[in-house]
């Protein structure tokens, strides 16, 4: 007896439609086509995600945020630029103002210097005029220095002393030749000079010339013994009665001659002269500036 097996029932076949592949430009993702009704019974479908819409929104939001930030920064930058421009304008105005003020001050300084130079020139001219007037007023005066003062000295004794000076120098002096005579009192222990005013300038010049000749040609310089005065002989100096400025210049001239080994210095008619070397012309000293120039040469 043969045994036959009954073949099993065939399982129903499921036919799937081919999947159609599509590509979208915004998300580049694949989509699966829907199966037919029969096959859909055996296929589980996953929910679809809309990637394109969310990403685009985020990008737009980011662009908006960046745009807002850029606008804010641009506004700040514009404000800062305006401030800087305003500051630059203020600085320019300040510099312009300072430049104008500097020019004004410079012009004022130049004007002041010019006026100062003019004033100095005028003052110098006035000083020269005063010096000339004072020198002319002393044209007939001379000084007799280093004669000791007597206890009871008066005008008569001084007149007698002046006449003895004339006799010693061989230049007679009469009482009527004397306009005035007096001794300058000193506060210190120094001997004050005797000031003699003659009636004529020529007589004064004769006395001074005779004193220079005496000292140059005598072995013994002119002193108190020649005037028959008691006591130890002391040198007697006869010179012009200089103005205040003349005495100052003569003092500086003597110091200059001493320190720079110049030939000599002297006064004539109230004027001060210096000779640097033998054979060179005499230099008339009119101001302290002349002394400075001699020292610098």
The predicted-structure confidence for 114-130, as pLDDT tens digits, reads as follows: 999 999 999 989 999 99
| pLDDT at residue 147 is higher than 80 | yes
Instruction: Identify whether residues 151 and 229 lie together within a single domain.
Output: yes
Instruction: Identify whether residues 145 and 123 lie together within a single domain.
Output: no
Q: Note whether 160 and 110 are within 8 A (CB).
A: no
Instruction: Identify whether residues 235 and 252 lie together within a single domain.
Output: no
Across 95-100, average pLDDT: 88
Residue 40 lies in a domain: no
Total domains, the chain: 3
User: Which residue, of 128, 160, 175, is where some domain finishes?
Assistant: 128
d(CA 258, CA 273): 14
Residue 236 lies in a domain: yes
SS3 (DSSP) at 83: helix
Q: Give the global pTM.
A: 0.63
Q: Which domain holds residue 225?
A: 138-241
Residue 288 lies in a domain: yes
Of 16-25, 77-86, 115-124, 245-254, which gets the smallest average pLDDT? 16-25
Longest dimension (CA), the chain: 212
Closest CA to 17 of 51, 49, 40: 40
Residue keyed to tokens 């210096």: 274
Instruction: Identify whether residues 174 and 198 lie together within a single domain.
Output: yes
Q: Note whether 222 and 211 are within 8 A (CB).
A: yes
Instruction: Identify whether residues 102 and 64 lie together within a single domain.
Output: yes
Residue 199 lies in a domain: yes
Q: Note whether 295 and 258 are within 8 A (CB).
A: no
Across 227-238, average pLDDT: 93
Which pair of structure tokens corresponds to residue 65? Answer: 């945020």
Instruction: Identify whether residues 158 and 226 lie together within a single domain.
Output: yes
Instruction: Identify whether residues 145 and 225 lie together within a single domain.
Output: yes
Instruction: Output phi, psi for 3, to 5 deg.
Output: -110, 125
């Amino acid at each position: 007896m043969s045994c036959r097996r009954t073949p099993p029932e065939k399982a129903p076949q499921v036919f799937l439609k081919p999947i159609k592949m599509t590509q979208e430009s915004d998300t580049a993702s694949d989509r699966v086509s829907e199966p037919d009704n029969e096959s859909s019974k055996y296929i589980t479908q996953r929910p679809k995600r809309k990637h394109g819409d969310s990403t685009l929104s985020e990008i737009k939001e980011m662009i908006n945020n960046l745009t807002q930030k850029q606008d804010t920064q641009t506004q700040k930058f514009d404000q800062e630029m305006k401030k800087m421009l305003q500051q630059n304008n203020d600085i320019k105005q300040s510099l312009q103002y300072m430049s104008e003020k500097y020019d004004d001050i410079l012009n004022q300084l130049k004007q002041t210097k010019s006026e100062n130079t003019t004033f100095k020139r005028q003052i110098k001219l006035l000083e020269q005029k005063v010096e000339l007037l004072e020198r002319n007023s002393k044209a007939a005066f001379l000084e007799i220095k280093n004669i000791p003062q007597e206890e009871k000295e008066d005008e008569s004794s001084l007149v007698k002393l002046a006449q003895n000076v004339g006799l010693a120098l061989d230049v007679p002096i009469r009482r009527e030749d004397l306009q005035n005579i007096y001794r300058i009192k000193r506060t210190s222990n120094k001997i004050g000079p005797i000031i003699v005013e003659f009636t004529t300038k020529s007589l004064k010049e004769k006395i001074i010339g005779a004193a220079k000749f005496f000292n140059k040609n005598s072995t013994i310089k002119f002193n108190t013994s020649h005037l028959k005065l008691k006591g130890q002989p002391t040198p007697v100096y006869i010179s012009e009665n200089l103005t205040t400025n003349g005495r100052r210049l003569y003092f500086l001239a003597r110091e200059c001659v001493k320190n720079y080994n110049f030939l000599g210095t002297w006064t004539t008619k109230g004027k001060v002269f210096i000779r640097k070397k033998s054979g060179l012309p005499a230099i008339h000293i009119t101001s302290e500036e002349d002394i400075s120039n001699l020292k610098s040469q």
